[in-house]
Structure 1
Amino acid sequence: MHRAATRQRKQSILRRLITPAIAIAALGYFGFHAMSGELGMVGRALIESQVSELEAELAQVSAERRELVSRVSLLRPESLDPDMLDERARLHLNLVHGDELVVLRPGHQYGVN
C-alpha cells in the first residue's frame, strides 16, 4: 500500500487579508456614497432645503396668480368694473383728467409696461 502524502501549505498573511480587505473597501465605498453622494445624507439636506425654497416660491406665485385672476375677472364683459377699466386705460395711454394732481416719483418709468 502506498501512503499518500498530503502536504499542507501554510497560508500566507497576504492571502488571509485579501477577503477582509475587499470587504472593507466595498463597505467604505458604499458608506462614502451613502453619506456624501447626490442622494446621500448630505444630498438629502440640500434637496430638503430646495424643496422648502420652492414651496415658498410656489406660495408666492400662487398668490400672484390668484390676484391676477381676480383682476382679469373684473375686465370680463359680463362683470366689467368701470374703475378697473379706467385704471388700465390711464396706465396704458398715460392720460389723466385735467383736475387731477400727478405726483412723479424719481426712478420710476411712467407709461412703460
Structure 2
Amino acid sequence: MQIGRMIRRAARMVVPPALFIGLTAYFGWNVMQGDHGLHSYAAQLHLLDEARAAQQDAMSEQAAWSRRVHGLKESALDTDTLDERSRAMLNLARPDELVVPYGPHDHLY
C-alpha cells in the first residue's frame, strides 16, 4: 500500500506543474507560430505594404491616363496648332498658301 501512496503523492506533485508547463508551451508556441501569431502578423504587414505600393502605382497610372484622356477632349485642343503640326508632320500645304523655304542654319526671327 505504501507504494500506491507514494505513486499518488508523486503524481500530485508532478501532474499540476507538468500541466502548467504544457499549457504555457502550447500558448507560447501559438503566440509565435499560430495563425494569428507574430510571424503571421509580420507576413500580413509585408503583404499590406505590397498592396499599398501596388495601389499607389495604380493611382499614378490612372492619373497619367486621366491627363491623356483630358488632352483628347475638344476643348483642350487648339485647332490652329493642331492644323500646323499635322501639316508639318505630313509635309503638306494647301494650294492658296505661300511656302518660303529656308536653310537649316537660317533663323526665322
Q: TM-score range by the shorter chain?
A: 0.5 to 0.7
Residues matched between the structures, number: 78
- Superposition CA RMSD, Å: 2.5
More helix by share: 2
2:54 is the counterpart of 1:57: yes
Residues in 2 aligned to 1:67 and 1:28: alpha-carbon distance in whole angstroms? 54
Residue 75 of structure 1: how far off its partner (Å):
3.0
| Cα distance in structure 1, aligned partners of 2:57 and 2:11 | 64
Q: Distance in 1 between matches of 2:19 and 2:52?
A: 44
TM value normalised by structure 1 = 0.56
Give the % identical residues: 24
How far residue 29 of structure 1 moved from its aligned partner, in angstroms, is 0.9
Of residues 33, 45, 57, the one that matches 1:48 is: 45
Q: Deviations over 1:64-104 (max 9, x none)?
A: 01111112222334x24379xx9xxxxxxxxxx866xxxxx
Aligned mates of 1:82, 1:46 — CA distance in 2: 53
Larger Rg: 2
**Unpaired stretches in structure 2, ≥5 consecutive residues:** 83-88, 92-109
- Residue range with higher mean Cα deviation, 66-75 or 56-65: 66-75
Gapped runs of 5+ residues in structure 1?
1-8, 87-96, 100-113
Q: Which runs of 4+ in 1 moved over 6 A?
A: none
Which has the bigger relative contact order, CA under 8 A and spacing at least 6? Answer: 1
Structure 2 CA distance for partners of 1:80 and 1:39, relative to 1, 3 Å: same
CA distance in 1, matches of 2:73, 2:17: 76
